[in-house]
């Protein structure tokens, strides 16, 4: 899901700092003029000119004050020259080691890099911590430095340390009656508890903030997000998600070539494009009139051999799937590829997870470079987390298959480019398997501070949830934006099974294999099992060579083949389960759910694909945590559940005496 960023975004460095006094009057006047010219150039978006002027200023006064140099770093950051900005900050810190203002600026720079996931290349975690700790030491009364230090601890997963620092910052801000810093420190403490596996404390602080500042858009969004992570089927989370985004768009006043007035609209439903927005020139077609709103799902699924999750809804409505075409001048920006044109931003399937924080973090229009694409384009975006395997397999490729059927196979004379997420091996491999020439592929690079203008026909496919939801699996579920249409998933299965046939890899025998999806078997990380090797050993001991381990490292075609042959897939909630889409119908999944089990993605997917489901709440992980080490009873539960699904008595002497390998052929015959 789209994450909530910390309140660091409210603390970004600004250009340009006020001039400091120096002794020589003539030099002072010259520097003042340089500073004014550079500041004007920066505000106009003339970043090269601003950098040149600040460099000149730095040469004249760098040994006296840090102002010119730190402003130069801000300009470099705005240009996307992160490494250059860091080098400038490091130089200034070395020159002025006791200057608290310099340390704070460098800390703010480091924190925002991490918050925007730009840290691995430029800012090692240890260096970021040391930078912010130095700032806090130099100015111990400065609340912002404590908030930044605590937030960096959060972003690096050092939650115990973050709670101490942020609780102190919150108390200081409260005592000083500094409302703004109290709100920011408390908001970050709220998210620190959420990410640090303290859901009760997170909800406590979220409720407190909502009670105090519930009229603020950012509080609605963060509190709604916390409830989404911690409370299944929470209607308040759904309400806050929509309200916060409506409130955001009302306050988003960026004047832009696609919206000169700066008065933007959100097209929540694709049918709103022509009724509630300013769009007049577009085409929209419903692609699944026969299946839209139909119900699927098995009333007896999922099965719970032990503990039961309640409530657990298991009936679903099919989405409404649309093809939308804008004939000219369509824009896309942010990492997730937000589509906009004529003052309308398209929400569609993203619903209450529409990335308002990404849009809000955009710089002013003078800093946004425009890259024009002067060809007709079909788009597999917008997509949640476009670099993620799950979102490409069951969102991006679903869109592509519809676009292939509705556009590419018909308008053969029109040289459409195919817009896909940033280049990843699994994306390239899947496109190759589908037969697409790489020359037709346009990878969305999601460059910082760049937007894309499509001057000719722009076509995309998206889907909408259900307004009149009889089953409550969309209307009451804040996670419903990540649930894909059943019809699209069935298309993926059929297409890739045909590809397996083309490569003589399709098995026409009844599936017999057991696939365990590994998430790495580490003691840290999200939703991992620390002693995974013991579970794998027990499965192999019980079922022999039928057990296959999926790590995601094999060529894509081989992975697809493995899942097509699987009678049973076992795994934790995670992207690897996207491969359910390659399994045959009437096979089965054992899922280690989340606790609380808020995201029903794979339950819905299994229902859509006619795959049986068994859930084991005895083995569960918090959304931001992991499963820890499984004990013997938990491992036995997995093995016995698998045996029950496959029709084998796991209390037999074969299993108890570890002699199961001798009977593998017999079990194959039984199946």
Residue 653: predicted pLDDT: 41
pLDDT (tens digit, 9 = 90+) per residue, 623-635?
A: 999 999 999 999 9
pLDDT (tens digit, 9 = 90+) per residue, 61-86?
A: 655 556 567 888 889 988 888 889 99
User: How wide is the angle at C-alpha 393 spanned by C-alphas 390 and 399, nearest 5°?
Assistant: 125
**pTM, rounded to two decimals:** 0.89
Cβ atoms of 420 and 431 within 8 Å: the answer is yes
Cα–Cα distance, 197 to 621 (Å, whole number)? 10
- Dihedral in degrees, nearest 10, Cα atoms 222, 225, 226, 228: 160
Residue 113: predicted pLDDT: 83
In sequence order, which ranges of 118-158 are alpha helices (DSSP H)?
119-122, 125-138, 143-155
Confidence of residue 615 (pLDDT cuts 50, 70, 90): very high
CATH node for 177-251: 1.25.40
CATH architecture of 1-156: Alpha Horseshoe (1.25)
In the chain, where are the structural domains located? 1-156, 177-251, 265-281+321-464, 486-670
Cα–Cα distance, 223 to 203 (Å, whole number)? 8
User: Token digits for 192?
Assistant: 């620190």
Domains 1-156 and 177-251 share a fold: yes
pLDDT (tens digit, 9 = 90+) per residue, 470-525?
A: 888 888 899 988 899 999 999 999 999 999 999 999 999 999 999 999 987 655 56
Confidence of residue 247 (pLDDT cuts 50, 70, 90): very high
CATH node for 486-670: 3.40.50
- CA distances (Å), 201 to each of 206, 527, 554, 598, in order? 8, 21, 41, 18
Helix pair angle (556-564, 425-433), 10° resolution = 70
Cα–Cα distance, 83 to 69 (Å, whole number)? 15
- The larger pLDDT score, comparing residue 658 to residue 350, is at 350
pLDDT (tens digit, 9 = 90+) per residue, 583-604?
A: 999 999 999 999 999 999 999 9
Strand partners, 341: 344
Number of Cβ within 10 Å of residue 149's Cβ equals 26
Highest mean pLDDT among 271-275, 421-425, 544-548: 544-548
Least reliable range by pLDDT among 128-132, 277-281, 544-548, 589-593: 277-281
Judged against a pLDDT cut of 80, whether residue 535 lies above it is answered with yes
């Amino acid at each position: 899901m789209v994450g909530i960023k910390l309140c660091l975004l409210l603390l970004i460095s600004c250009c340009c700092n006020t001039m400091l006094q120096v002794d020589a009057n003539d030099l002072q006047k010259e520097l003042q003029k340089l500073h004014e010219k550079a500041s004007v150039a920066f505000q106009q978006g003339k970043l090269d000119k601003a950098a040149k002027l600040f460099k000149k200023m730095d040469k004249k006064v760098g040994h006296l004050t840090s102002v010119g140099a730190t402003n130069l770093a801000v300009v470099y950051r705005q240009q996307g020259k992160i490494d250059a900005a860091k080098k400038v900050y490091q130089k200034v810190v070395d020159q002025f080691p006791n200057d608290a203002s310099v340390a704070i600026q460098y800390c703010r720079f480091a924190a925002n890099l991490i918050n925007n996931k730009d840290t691995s290349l430029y800012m090692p975690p240890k260096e970021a911590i040391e930078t912010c700790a130095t700032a806090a030491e130099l100015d111990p009364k400065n609340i912002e430095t404590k908030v930044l230090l605590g937030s960096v601890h959060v972003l690096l997963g050092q939650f115990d340390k973050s709670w101490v620092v942020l609780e102190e910052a919150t108390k200081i801000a409260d005592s000083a009656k500094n409302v703004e810093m109290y709100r920011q420190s408390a908001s970050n403490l709220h998210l620190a508890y959420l990410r640090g596996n303290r859901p009760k404390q997170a909800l406590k602080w979220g409720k407190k903030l909502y009670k105090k500042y519930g009229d603020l858009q950012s509080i609605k969004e963060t509190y709604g997000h916390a409830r989404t992570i911690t409370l299944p089927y929470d209607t308040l989370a759904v309400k806050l998600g929509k309200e916060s985004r409506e409130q955001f768009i009302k306050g988003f006043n960026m004047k832009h070539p696609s919206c000169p007035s700066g008065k933007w609209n959100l097209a929540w439903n694709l049918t709103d494009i022509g009724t509630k927005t300013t769009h007049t020139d577009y085409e929209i077609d419903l692609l699944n009139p026969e299946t839209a709103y139909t119900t699927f799902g098995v009333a007896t699924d999922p099965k719970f051999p032990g503990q039961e999750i309640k409530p657990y809804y298991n009936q679903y409505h099919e989405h409404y799937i649309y093809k939308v075409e804008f004939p000219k001048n369509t824009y896309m920006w942010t990492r997730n590829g937000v589509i906009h044109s004529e003052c309308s931003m398209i929400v569609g399937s993203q619903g209450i997870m529409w990335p308002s924080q990404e849009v809000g973090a955009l710089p002013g229009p003078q800093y946004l470079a425009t890259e024009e694409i002067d060809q007709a384009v079909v788009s597999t975006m917008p997509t949640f987390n476009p670099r993620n395997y799950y979102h490409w397999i069951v969102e991006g490729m679903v869109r592509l298959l519809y676009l292939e059927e509705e556009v590419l196979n018909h308008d053969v004379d029109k040289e459409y480019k195919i817009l896909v997420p940033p280049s990843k091996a699994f994306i390239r491999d899947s496109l190759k398997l589908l037969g697409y020439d790489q020359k037709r592929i346009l990878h969305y690079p999601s460059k910082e501070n760049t937007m894309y203008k499509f001057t000719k026909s722009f076509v995309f496919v998206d889907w909408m949830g259900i307004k009149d939801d009889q089953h409550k699996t969309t209307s009451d579920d804040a996670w419903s934006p990540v649930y894909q249409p059943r019809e699209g998933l069935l298309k993926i299965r059929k297409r890739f099974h045909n590809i397996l046939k083309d490569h003589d890899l399709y098995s026409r025998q009844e599936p017999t294999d057991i696939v365990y999806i590994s998430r790495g078997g580490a003691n840290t990380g999200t939703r991992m099992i620390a002693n995974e090797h013991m579970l794998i050993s027990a499965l192999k001991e019980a079922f022999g060579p039928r057990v296959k381990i999926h790590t995601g490292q094999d060529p894509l075609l081989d992975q697809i083949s493995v899942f097509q042959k699987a009678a049973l897939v076992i795994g934790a909630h995670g992207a690897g389960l996207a491969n359910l889409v390659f399994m045959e119908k009437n096979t089965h999944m054992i899922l280690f759910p989340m606790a609380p089990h808020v995201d029903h993605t794979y339950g819905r997917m299994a229902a859509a694909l006619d795959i049986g489901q068994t859930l084991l709440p005895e083995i569960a992980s918090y959304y931001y945590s992991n499963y820890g080490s499984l004990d013997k009873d938990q491992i036995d539960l997995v093995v016995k559940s698998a045996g029950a699904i496959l029709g084998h008595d796991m209390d037999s002497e074969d299993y108890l005496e570890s002699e199961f390998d001798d009977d593998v052929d017999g079990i194959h015959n039984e199946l």
